[in-house]
């Protein structure tokens, strides 16, 4: 899959097709800059649209859904973490029966702090649904939630990238399995009543059955189930346990950060502002055979149950691959300018790619060639044992030093199992290599701890992944400023700043931890790199050391300054948590609903500061807080309620 293709969006209508030659990519846009808002009355707002896909005579090697999100023009982004879905409904015409097939699930972020220019892009492989994406198809986007739909929402574009070619496995049939929003914890109606075993009879041509399953937990009972509790799931095939899973996900490394809400809290298989990625299980089967699939959740009962698990799942039947020696490169994680890979980019070494065995035989060796276009190419000799359909992430050695101006990185498969790949069309992949920052050989790492320094530590690694400087957990002192003057030889390095509490050096929902910051300084004391203190579990920064090519401009790890206000509602005491790229004067003004100014103050802020306001002398009601600086203009509402 060419990563560059994922980032290119045709501005075409919802039912238009960008024509492509055989072996190329066809783009179909079903929803073009569609503004979606909530329906507070029902909690769900559908946005159906018909799109025209290539005819059934066109076969697809791969299908990728690209999803683009923005704040709507003249409106704020949505405020809450709500469930959104993409469904395939009807095929052929309006009188056809709806398939009601969920193909993608996305959780919106806490967008209350996003500026008007915020945008993000996501992509997901939906090749399992390729057989349904031909001719006229009704695609429905559903946005759920109960917040006010006045002046806030999301602008959504859905773009299907249909990569033409011979399928690695020919699809035969697709069937629905467990789909719905099921109560969890009820003794009278246990969830297993909705997760009964399902018997399936294979098509005569079927040789492999794939189960694709989406599952997320929601609701909050007395034990915080199902959103914040860890429960297990067992998947059975023909009565035998095949796979087990802890239905939970760590959110402290979410690529979309910071957010206004409790984005760092780990959740039941989802995180705010991320796609829900499916679990995929493959089973070799014989044509016309009968098989049983079953799902069991950890037994759980509670009085007044409110927890729910939402399932969306299908069984997809395939013929086995016809080629023996066939591998493909699917993704480039480093270097990459894709939003989802932003936590570990830009880079100056150690490219990372995903390779899949698309052949019927075992993949035991491959030679990968890679490097910047026009520069030296490296070789990587991989050895292992990948069975059919299995994938592996490869950490490729070598340096990536882009010249001024971003460049194109290319990786391709030179051989597999000692022979030429039998299907070369997906052997080559491209990505944009961003320019990593360059520091002088001597620089200063400056960090200020918060109230809980035992959670904070950091490590510097060289090109060989050897630690060249570090602090250990528990060795730093609370609310203390440290400056480490470091001298490194020219080369490529990586800093990882850890927070074992998963809530960074500053986070609005945990004011008791206080506020800290981290940044790089040059020897004159000027900041050259500033990290947003609301980084969750860790922040990673790769950089070059080169005394002859220094990039000295200060760059925050996220382009937008921010201001959070808490608690809200408040009984009087309010904290304004401000983060900015460097040092600025920040003005804070508070107005009542009549427009009268009830507070005004100017504060000197260096990177991050907690500004305390006392509103206890004011009457109950709604107040507007206006925070401005050279890099920020933020307005927030706060409710005073005693």
Q: Which of 50-54, 557-561, 572-576 has the highest mean pLDDT?
A: 50-54
Please tell me the distance from the alpha carbon of residue 621 to that of residue 84, in angstroms, as a whole number. 33
Domain assignment present for residue 349? The answer is no
Q: pLDDT at residue 111 above 90?
A: yes
Into how many domains does the chain fold? Answer: 4
| Percent of the chain predicted with pLDDT > 90 | 78
Residues 114 and 192 in one domain: no
- CA neighbor of 55 nearest in space, from 134, 129, 165: 134
Please tell me the distance from the alpha carbon of residue 375 to that of residue 429, in angstroms, as a whole number. 16
Q: pLDDT at residue 348 above 60?
A: yes
Q: If you average pLDDT over residues 92-97, what whole number do you get?
A: 91
Residues 163 and 176 in one domain: no
Return the higher-pLDDT residue of 511 and 67.
Answer: 67
Please tell me the distance from the alpha carbon of residue 245 to that of residue 174, in angstroms, as a whole number. 24
CATH number where 633 lies: 2.60.40.3080
Contact 235/333 with Cβ under 8 angstroms? no
Domain assignment present for residue 332? The answer is no
Residues 91 and 22 in one domain: yes
Q: If you average pLDDT over residues 429-458, what whole number do you get?
A: 95
pLDDT for 555 equals 57
Mean of all residue pLDDT scores within the chain: 91
Q: pLDDT at residue 1 above 50?
A: no
Please tell me the distance from the alpha carbon of residue 202 to that of residue 209, in angstroms, as a whole number. 8
pLDDT for 13 equals 32
Residues 99 and 244 in one domain: no
- Of the chain, the end-to-end C-alpha distance in Å amounts to 57
Q: If you average pLDDT over residues 144-152, what whole number do you get?
A: 91
| 385 membership: H or E segment, kind and range | strand 378-386
Strand partners, 604: 585
Please give the C-alpha separations between residue 221 and each of 193, 268, 311, 483, in angstroms, as whole numbers: 20, 14, 19, 46
CATH number where 518 lies: 2.60.60
- CA neighbor of 466 nearest in space, from 349, 359, 388, 566: 349
Q: pLDDT at residue 523 above 90?
A: yes
Q: How many CB atoms lie within 10 A of CB 44?
A: 15
Alpha helices, DSSP H, located in 230-367: none
Return the higher-pLDDT residue of 576 and 199.
Answer: 199
DSSP state of 94: T
Give pLDDT tens digits for 31-57: 999 999 999 999 999 999 999 999 999
Q: If you average pLDDT over residues 183-189, what whole number do you get?
A: 97
Domain assignment present for residue 356? The answer is no
CATH number where 13 lies: 2.60.120.230
Residues 26 and 96 in one domain: yes
Please tell me the distance from the alpha carbon of residue 627 to that of residue 605, in angstroms, as a whole number. 12
Domain assignment present for residue 423? The answer is no
Summarize the chain as % helix, strand, coil (round to 5).
5, 50, 45
Residues 280 and 155 in one domain: no
Give pLDDT tens digits for 543-553: 999 877 665 45
Residues 157 and 233 in one domain: no
At 613, list the tokens: 């306001």
Residues 148 and 188 in one domain: no
Please tell me the distance from the alpha carbon of residue 226 to that of residue 198, in angstroms, as a whole number. 24
Residues 23 and 90 in one domain: yes
Residues 6+ apart with CB under 8 A from 472: 457
Strand bridging mode 428-433 / 44-53? unpaired
Domain assignment present for residue 568? The answer is yes
Q: Which residue has the tokens 């270097």?
A: 335
Give pLDDT tens digits for 114-126: 888 899 999 999 9
Please tell me the distance from the alpha carbon of residue 488 to that of residue 439, in angstroms, as a whole number. 10
Residues 622 and 507 in one domain: no
Give pLDDT tens digits for 374-426: 888 999 999 999 999 999 999 999 998 877 777 899 999 999 999 999 999 99
Domain assignment present for residue 160? The answer is yes
DSSP state of 501: T
> What range does the domain containing 293 cover?
171-318
Identify the band that residue 22 occupies on the pLDDT scale cut at 50, 70 and 90. Answer: very low
- CA neighbor of 251 nearest in space, from 269, 236, 266, 241: 266
Please tell me the distance from the alpha carbon of residue 371 to that of residue 379, in angstroms, as a whole number. 9
Angle in degrees, CA 425, 428, 429, rounded to 5: 125
Strand partners, 14: none
Give pLDDT tens digits for 306-328: 999 999 999 999 999 999 999 99
DSSP state of 320: P
Strand partners, 366: 382, 416
Strand bridging mode 76-77 / 152-164? parallel
Domain assignment present for residue 391? The answer is no
pTM beyond cutoff 0.85: yes
pLDDT for 71 equals 95
- CA neighbor of 562 nearest in space, from 506, 500, 502: 506
Identify the band that residue 7 occupies on the pLDDT scale cut at 50, 70 and 90. Answer: very low
Domain assignment present for residue 393? The answer is no
Residues 157 and 245 in one domain: no
Boundary residue ending a domain (318, 351, 371): 318
Contact 309/297 with Cβ under 8 angstroms? yes
pLDDT for 4 equals 37
């Amino acid at each position: 899959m060419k990563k560059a293709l994922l980032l290119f969006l045709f501005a075409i209508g919802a039912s238009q097709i960008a024509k492509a030659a055989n072996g190329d990519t066809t783009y179909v846009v079903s929803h073009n800059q569609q503004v979606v808002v909530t329906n507070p009355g029902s909690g769900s707002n559908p946005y159906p649209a018909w799109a025209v896909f290539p005819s059934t005579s066109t076969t697809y090697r791969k299908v990728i859904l690209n999803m683009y999100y923005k704040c709507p023009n003249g409106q704020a982004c949505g405020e809450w973490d709500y469930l959104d879905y993409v469904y395939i409904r009807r095929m052929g015409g309006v009188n056809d029966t709806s398939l009601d097939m969920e193909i993608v699930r996305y959780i919106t972020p806490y967008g209350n702090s996003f500026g008007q220019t915020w945008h993000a892009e996501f992509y997901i492989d939906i090749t399992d649904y390729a057989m349904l994406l031909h001719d006229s198809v009704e695609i429905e986007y559903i946005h759920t939630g109960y917040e006010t739909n006045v002046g806030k929402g999301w602008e959504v574009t859905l773009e299907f990238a249909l990569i033409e070619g011979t399928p690695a496995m020919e699809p035969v049939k697709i069937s629905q399995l467990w789909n719905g929003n099921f109560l969890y914890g009820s003794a009278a109606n246990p969830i297993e009543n909705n997760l009964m075993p399902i018997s399936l009879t294979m098509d005569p041509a079927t040789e492999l059955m794939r189960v694709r399953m989406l599952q997320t937990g929601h609701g909050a009972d007395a034990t915080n189930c199902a959103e914040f509790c860890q429960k297990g799931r067992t998947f059975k095939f023909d009565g035998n346990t095949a796979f087990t899973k802890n239905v939970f996900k760590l959110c402290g490394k979410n690529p979309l950060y910071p957010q206004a809400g409790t984005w760092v809290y780990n959740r039941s298989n989802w995180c705010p502002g991320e796609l829900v990625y499916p679990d995929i299980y493959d089973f070799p089967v014989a044509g016309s055979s009968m098989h049983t699939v079953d799902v069991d959740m950890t037994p759980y009962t509670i009085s007044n149950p409110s927890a729910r698990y939402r399932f969306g799942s299908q069984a997809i039947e395939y013929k086995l691959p016809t080629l023996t020696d066939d591998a493909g490169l699917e993704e480039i994680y480093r270097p990459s300018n894709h939003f989802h890979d932003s936590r570990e980019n830009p880079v100056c070494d150690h490219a990372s790619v995903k390779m899949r065995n698309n052949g019927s035989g075992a993949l035991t060796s491959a030679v990968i060639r890679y490097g910047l276009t026009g520069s030296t190419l490296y070789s990587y000799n991989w050895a292992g044992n990948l069975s059919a359909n299995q994938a592996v992430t490869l950490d490729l050695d070598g340096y990536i030093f882009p010249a001024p101006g971003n460049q194109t990185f290319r990786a391709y498969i030179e051989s597999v199992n000692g022979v030429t790949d039998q299907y070369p069309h997906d052997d080559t992949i491209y990505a944009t290599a961003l320019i990593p920052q360059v520091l002088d050989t001597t620089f200063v790492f400056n960090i200020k701890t918060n109230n809980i320094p035992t959670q904070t530590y950091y490590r510097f690694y060289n090109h060989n992944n050897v630690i060249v400087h570090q602090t250990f957990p528990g060795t730093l002192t609370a609310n203390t400023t440290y400056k480490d003057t470091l001298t490194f030889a020219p080369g490529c390095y990586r800093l990882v700043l850890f927070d074992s509490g998963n809530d960074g050096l500053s986070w609005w929902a945990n004011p008791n931890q206080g506020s800290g910051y981290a940044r790089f300084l040059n020897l004159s004391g000027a900041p050259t790199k500033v990290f947003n203190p609301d980084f969750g579990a860790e922040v990673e920064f790769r950089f070059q050391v080169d005394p002859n090519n220094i990039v000295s401009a200060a760059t925050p790890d996220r382009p937008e300054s921010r201001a959070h206000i808490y608690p809200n509602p408040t009984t009087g005491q309010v904290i304004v948590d401000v983060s900015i790229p460097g040092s600025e004067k920040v003005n804070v003004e508070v107005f009542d609903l009549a427009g009268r100014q009830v507070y005004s103050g100017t504060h000197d802020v260096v990177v991050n500061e907690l500004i305390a306001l006392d509103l206890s002398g004011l009457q109950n009601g709604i107040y507007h807080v206006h925070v401005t600086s050279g890099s920020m203009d933020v307005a927030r509402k706060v409710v005073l309620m005693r």
